[in-house]
Amino acid sequence: MGRLDDKVALITGAAMGMGRATAELFAAEGAKVAVTDLDEGKGKEVVEGIRAAGGTAEFWSLNVAREAEAKSVIDAAAAEFGGLDILVNCAGIIGVDKPTHELTEAEWDALFAVDVKGVFFCTKHAVPHMIERGKGSIVNYSSIYGMIGNDEFTAYHVAKGAVSMQTKQDAASYGKYDIRVNSVHPSTVLTPLVEGIAAEFPGGLPAYEEYMTSNQSLRRLGRPIDVAYGVLYLASDEASWVTGVNLPIDGGYTAR
């Protein structure tokens, strides 16, 4: 038996990186997976791979910053699969690397539209389906920088702090419906984006990994699957008494 047998999950930002790893793992554990992303080509590749491995998945194009799209896609996925049990809010952007006094209003708004409003819109329109179901699980992708400060990417870090608090607020609000809401907080994970950055770093990936993990207890970068397994636990019935948790999956970065 899979850990998500008979569950329906919708995952945003599922075309690559941690979102893709989560979608593939969920399908392998028995879930019917709604793969959503702006990248239609890569999103459909994920679906094809899931189906080839014997799983069930469909793709929907979704810009999470648009409320009408979020509602339409969530409603369509629930209709296709007969309900909705799990929402994973993974879609996000990093934005520009500027401190507060240098950020423009447009830069701030563009980042918050995806990283904060996207979580809000998808949660808003998933919850009614979960209330109808009688239970549900929402897992939000935040960051270690939704828990601690740093002198880089100010708007991104503030946005992830908002996701951390929305997690707790929604957990407090929706527990009466047996809907659990938790978040995961990765440090640097070797996604395709990070692989590209590492390739340009002097000394390549080994030097980049040493540099980026100097403040971690476990001296290696995370892999997408490392985080996906944490999301799987929080989404599954194994965590039926777990809600409002901001879970670091960070190699011990926040432990030091």
What residues act catalytically?
156
Dump the DSSP string for 208-232: HHHHHTTTSSS-S-B-HHHHHHHHH
Contact 225, 160 (CB under 8 A): no
- Dist CA 70 CA 5 (whole Å): 25
Which run of H or of E encompasses 249? strand 246-249
Return the residue matching tokens 């996701």.
163
CA distances from 19 to 68, 123, 189 (A): 22, 17, 12
Give SS3 for 18.
helix
- How far is it between the farthest Cα atoms of the chain? 54
User: For residue 100, what are its two tokens?
Assistant: 């507060």
